[in-house]
Amino acid sequence: MIGKAVEKALNTQLNAELYSSYLYLSMSSWFSFQNLDGFANWMRVQAQEELVHAMKFYDYLIQRNGRVLLLAVDAPPTEWDSPDAVFEHTYQHEQKVTGLINELVDLSISEKDHATHMVLQWFVDEQVEEESSAAEILGKIRMLKESKSGIYILDRELNQRVFTPPPAQQPVE
């Protein structure tokens, strides 16, 4: 059974992951409206990944006989000034999520919850990848400095991203 403090914190993180999915879906919509379908695709895939992250917390809570409490998900922003602004927001958001994951790791250590600590290591690794990916695209956009042809080429590159669902979970016994 999972401790109440860890259970509450994991429910809060589940909500944060759902918000991340909403945020990236909102960004995808904004890019679609700007006729940047590759950027929109990249964000839509990102939204799907965040749902997978939320479900990892959901499934883990159930596996540990914890209670999943779904909280209200805040509405994300819907407007940005430029692709640069969207990816700056993305990078800052991923840094914030990294901080939230680090706080969970600290809590799992202080509560001596070794199982949760081990599960969270996947998220620690994932956040390194998430920040790096956002920073890389942000760097490319900044390097282009308003080059419409460069944005077009980057849009085509980002359109290649494909969502790969994780392998099916084995039922909890």
Question: Model's pTM, two decimal places?
Answer: 0.93
Q: In terms of residue numbers, what domain contains 147? A: 4-158
- The answer on pLDDT for 94 being more than 60 is yes
- The answer on pLDDT for 74 being more than 70 is yes
Confirm whether 97 is domain-assigned: yes
Confirm whether 166 is domain-assigned: no
What pLDDT, on the 0 to 100 scale, is given for residue 166?
82
C-alpha to C-alpha distance for 94 and 88, rounded to whole angstroms:
10
Question: How far from chain centre, in Å, is Cα 18?
Answer: 8
Confirm whether 165 is domain-assigned: no
Confirm whether 137 is domain-assigned: yes
Confirm whether 170 is domain-assigned: no
CATH code, domain with 86 = 1.20.1260.10
Q: Which residue did the predictor score with more confidence, 4 or 148?
A: 4
pLDDT digits (tens, 9 = 90+) for 141-171: 999 987 899 999 999 999 999 998 888 655 5
Spatial CA neighbour of 66 closest among 12, 112, 10: 10
- Total number of domains in the chain: 1
What pLDDT, on the 0 to 100 scale, is given for residue 169?
59
C-alpha to C-alpha distance for 55 and 168, rounded to whole angstroms:
12
- The answer on pLDDT for 58 being more than 60 is yes
Confirm whether 100 is domain-assigned: yes
Confirm whether 126 is domain-assigned: yes
Confirm whether 116 is domain-assigned: yes
